[in-house]
Structure formats: structure tokens, C-alpha cells
């Protein structure tokens, strides 16, 4: 089932007639494992140049090694997506060192799994920063160059819990509702701007 979900995400980005992403720069947050790693391998198999972000350097390098062992190209960056300063700093570094990002995949996410009264304020803030606010920060970093060329793709990896609430996941649900809302609102904003070739995709788990 996981494989079919992964395929559906990829096909939502590379719609038929199949988009040629050979040589395009794809940035994936949370690339050190799970969905981020699998998406990295899938994009690499289609010729994309990967920019891999993760807070865990070793896990991120492992993903890069897997990409490279299959003939792909990958650049790795350690980035704490809960830190606005870190996201903006690493974004600027990517633009200098790698170039314009063609496809941005906001995938990094965390889940606490606690009742609301058992959550610490710091835990709530961290969930919202990584799962929602980091999307604003990466988009504000990489959207300007997409607008200049009227070309690009922004992908939001969200969850069914971004549409339906669940007990013991109040912070997570709120963060995913926010990420989903951001995606839908920005899609409308881009249409109003006439930027029809900057695409938005919201993929749910």
C-alpha cells in the first residue's frame, strides 16, 4: 500500500503526458528517511538533481549515498526546519551553490502523539514550526525564482488528519490543517497572479 501511495504522489507531480524532470533541481525536506528518502530515490531514477535537507546529517548522507549508488546526483544540507533563521540561511546557500529549485517538496514533519494537556508549549510550537511554518519559509525562499520564469512546482506532503481531527493528535492535526490550507490558498493566489505554470500539489498520507 505504501508503494502505491508513493507512486500516486510521484504521478501527481509528473502528470501524463509525463513531465520531463531530467536535470531539474528537486529539493526535499526531511530526506533522511521514510517518505523523504523514497521520494528522493524516485526522483533520482527520473534524472532529477536532488537537494536533500534533514536535521540528521548521517541519515541524510545515507539517502545521498543510495541516490548516488543508483547513478543519481545529490547535494546534502543539514537544516533544522523548526528554525526560521536556519531555513532562510540554508535556502540562500542552496541558491548560491546549486541554483534555482524547480520542484520544492515540503515533506519534513513530526508527531508527538500526546493529549493536549500533556503537551508542553515547546512541543506544540515545534510541531507547528516544522509541519506548517517551515512551508512558509521555504516557499518564500524559492517561489520568487519560480515566479520570474513562471515555472515550478511546490509539493505539500500532508495527511488525512489535515482534514479530519483525531484524539491525542491535536497539535499534529492543527499543523496539517494549516499546511493544507496554505497549499490551497497559494494555488488560488498564483492563479490570480496569472502564474499558471507554477503548480501546487497537496498529497495526503
Q: Which residues are catalytic?
A: 172
Please give the backbone phi and psi of residue 194, each rounded to the nearest 5 degrees, phi first.
80, 15
The strand ranges marked E within 119-204 are 152-158, 198-204
The three grid cell numbers given for residue 81, joined into one nine-digit string: 526546519
Please give the backbone phi and psi of residue 98, each rounded to the nearest 5 degrees, phi first.
-115, -45
Q: Residue 100, Cβ neighbours under 10 Å: how many?
A: 16
Please give the backbone phi and psi of residue 195, each rounded to the nearest 5 degrees, phi first.
-90, 75
Distances (CA, A) of 107 to 30, 82, 118, 155, 195: 6, 13, 26, 8, 24
Q: DSSP letter at 130?
A: I
Classify 2 as helix, strand or coil: helix
Amino acid at each position: 500500500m505504501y508503494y502505491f501511495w508513493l507512486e500516486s504522489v510521484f504521478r501527481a507531480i509528473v502528470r501524463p503526458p509525463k513531465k520531463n524532470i531530467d536535470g531539474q533541481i528537486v529539493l526535499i525536506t526531511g530526506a533522511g528517511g521514510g517518505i523523504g528518502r523514497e521520494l528522493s530515490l524516485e526522483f533520482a531514477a527520473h534524472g532529477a538533481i536532488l537537494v536533500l535537507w534533514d536535521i540528521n546529517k548521517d541519515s541524510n548522507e545515507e539517502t545521498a549515498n543510495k541516490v548516488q549508488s543508483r547513478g543519481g546526483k545529490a547535494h546534502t544540507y543539514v537544516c533544522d526546519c523548526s528554525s526560521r533563521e536556519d531555513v532562510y540561511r540554508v535556502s540562500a546557500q542552496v541558491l548560491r551553490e546549486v541554483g534555482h529549485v524547480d520542484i520544492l517538496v515540503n515533506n519534513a514533519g513530526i508527531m508527538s502523539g500526546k493529549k493536549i494537556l500533556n503537551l508542553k508549549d515547546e512541543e506544540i510550537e515545534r510541531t507547528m514550526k516544522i509541519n506548517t511554518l517551515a512551508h512558509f519559509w521555504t516557499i518564500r525562499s524559492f517561489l520568487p525564482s519560480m515566479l520570474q520564469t513562471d515555472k515550478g512546482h511546490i509539493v505539500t506532503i500532508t495527511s488525512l488528519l489535515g482534514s479530519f481531527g483525531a484524539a491525542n493528535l491535536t497539535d499534529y492535526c492543527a499543523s496539517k490543517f494549516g499546511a493544507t490550507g496554505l497549499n490551497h490558498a497559494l494555488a488560488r493566489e498564483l492563479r490570480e497572479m496569472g502564474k499558471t505554470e507554477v503548480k501546487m500539489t497537496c498529497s495526503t498520507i
